[in-house]
Structure 1
Amino acid sequence: MAGSYGVENPQNERYRLSFTVGGLLALQGKILATLFVENEREYMAPDVEPTNGATDTDHEIGERITRIRKQAVEENVLSIRTRSANSRVVSEVLKRLSALTETEIHYLADDDTPASDRQALMWVAMCRYYALVGEFANEVLRERYLMGFSTLTKDDYDRFIQAQSMWHPELEELSALTAGKLRSNVFKAMSEAELWEKESDTLLPSLLSKSVTAILENRPESFRFFPTRER
């Protein structure tokens, strides 16, 4: 579906609001990134020419990531019990991976990549694919860290959503159940990315590795998704 893959344009009239599944999905992201890399020769010829001087490796994967969807579902590479759940999780992970660059995908797939680096890249993927999550990370998570606050609560999230709903009425149209799932998944993802501690609501400063920092230099706006003074 056109417009369903790649980085979400924050200027879109409506947010993508389908992040009701799985939290960070770091392990699943690694598995599907590996499958993508293993099948690279078949589909890595660029479908879209890089723009603004970007190199192939700087260009986001976009809809090309979906070429492994059928194989991932049929072979149940994520080892999920039911086909419907398997299909749903595969689709969600592929959407997020579509917002990463080829360099990022390759690093995510590398067996030698530390788990913490994979977590960081999957948080970047979630923030890029879902503009609402990225804006929350920048305007609330990171901003609270820079202002010296030590905690991040669900009330902070609720206030952010209330403010955003002035420009995005689709947020007010969400059922209480769906809104709750979205909030829970954001906080679950932050916990799994080791950016937030669940029991105490403690905000955890991000210490990005040299490898991740070097990779994100090509997309420096991604640093704003983390509670860090980088950039």
Structure 2
Amino acid sequence: MSFSTGGLFVNESVEIARLHEQGSDWAETITRALIDGPTRLPKRDSNRRTVREIANRLSCLTDEEREYLTNSADRAEKQALLWLATCRAYAFVRDFAIEVIQDRLSSHRSDLPLDVFDQYFDSKSEWDENLAAISPTTRRKLRQVLFRIMREAGIINTVNTIQPTYLSSALRTLIGKTTPNDFLVFPGLQQ
């Protein structure tokens, strides 16, 4: 649940993906990003946390997906790939996208009120002691950041209405090569 840092980080993610050399260790990429990377937060610890978070998400993309992100993707495709990376990095986010967002959309309820997150979190924490141990303050922060990420990815709009996703045929083909079930994290998109 370390996605409590920032948002989608589109520009920073693309720059860090460019720093990563295929087959190299992500720790090396993190070190390079901290030295000459795109994040210049005033506090060193905040900068380190942000770079690690971005690297964690990017490491969930295939080499081919990262290549597409840095060289071919338009802004909407970058957002989609980074949303996918976030869902792959965090099972909670992936499950929320599939179990809550897709369900609401298929039930013709396109609104996504904040309390839906709270209800989902409560239901999951009944079965997961790690979730149950999260403080109310951290939980609010997680909700705030997840909604920010979803807005920045185009999953919801500024008034928390779910936005059906359109993916280009090139991006659909690329994602389909890895895990066709990944299409489920995009509202209204099926395999």
* RMSD, matched Cα: 1.4
Equivalent residue for 1:135, pick from 78, 95, 109: 95
Give the drift of 1:165: 1.1
Does residue 156 in structure 1 map to residue 116 in structure 2?
A: yes
More helix by share: 2
Report the Cα distance in structure 1 between the residues aligned to 2:175 and 2:88, rounded to whole angstroms: 12
Aligned to 2:41: 80
Does residue 204 in structure 1 map to residue 163 in structure 2?
A: yes
TM-score, scaled relative to structure 1: 0.78
Report the Cα distance in structure 2 between the residues aligned to 1:229 and 1:116, rounded to whole angstroms: 15
Q: Which region of structure 1 is more displaced relative to structure 2, 18-27 or 128-137? A: 18-27
Report the Cα distance in structure 2 between the residues aligned to 1:88 and 1:169, rounded to whole angstroms: 25
Give the drift of 1:157: 1.1
In structure 2, runs of 5+ residues without a counterpart are none
**SS of residue in 1 equivalent to 2:100:** helix
Give the drift of 1:172: 1.8
Report the Cα distance in structure 2 between the residues aligned to 1:91 and 1:105, rounded to whole angstroms: 16
Report the Cα distance in structure 2 between the residues aligned to 1:107 and 1:161, rounded to whole angstroms: 34
TM-score, scaled relative to structure 2: 0.93
- Is the contact between residue 150 and residue 202 of structure 1 (CA under 8 Å) also seen in structure 2? yes
Report the Cα distance in structure 2 between the residues aligned to 1:72 and 1:221, rounded to whole angstroms: 32
Does residue 124 in structure 1 map to residue 84 in structure 2?
A: yes
- Superposition pairs of residues 22-33 of structure 1, within 5 angstroms: 22-33=6-17
- Superposition pairs of residues 11-160 of structure 1, within 5 angstroms: 17-36=1-20, 39-40=21-22, 44=23, 64-110=25-71, 112-160=72-120
**SS of residue in 2 equivalent to 1:202:** coil
- Is the contact between residue 165 and residue 189 of structure 2 (CA under 8 Å) also seen in structure 1? no
Report the Cα distance in structure 2 between the residues aligned to 1:76 and 1:104, rounded to whole angstroms: 20
Report the Cα distance in structure 1 between the residues aligned to 2:41 and 2:171, rounded to whole angstroms: 29
Give the drift of 1:192: 0.3
Give the drift of 1:100: 0.8
Residue type of the alignment partner of 1:130: Y
Give the drift of 1:135: 0.3
Deviation per CA, 1:167-188: give whole Å up to 9, x if none. 1122221111100111111100
Q: Which region of structure 1 is more displaced relative to structure 2, 187-196 or 149-158? A: 149-158
Report the Cα distance in structure 2 between the residues aligned to 1:203 and 1:190, rounded to whole angstroms: 9
Residue type of the alignment partner of 1:176: P
Report the Cα distance in structure 2 between the residues aligned to 1:207 and 1:94, rounded to whole angstroms: 26
Give the drift of 1:94: 0.4
Deviation per CA, 1:105-138: give whole Å up to 9, x if none. 111111x420110100110111111000000000
- Is the contact between residue 143 and residue 227 of structure 1 (CA under 8 Å) also seen in structure 2? no
Report the Cα distance in structure 1 between the residues aligned to 2:139 and 2:62, rounded to whole angstroms: 30
**SS of residue in 1 equivalent to 2:40:** coil
Give the drift of 1:66: 2.5
Aligned to 1:187: 147
- Is the contact between residue 31 and residue 78 of structure 1 (CA under 8 Å) also seen in structure 2? no
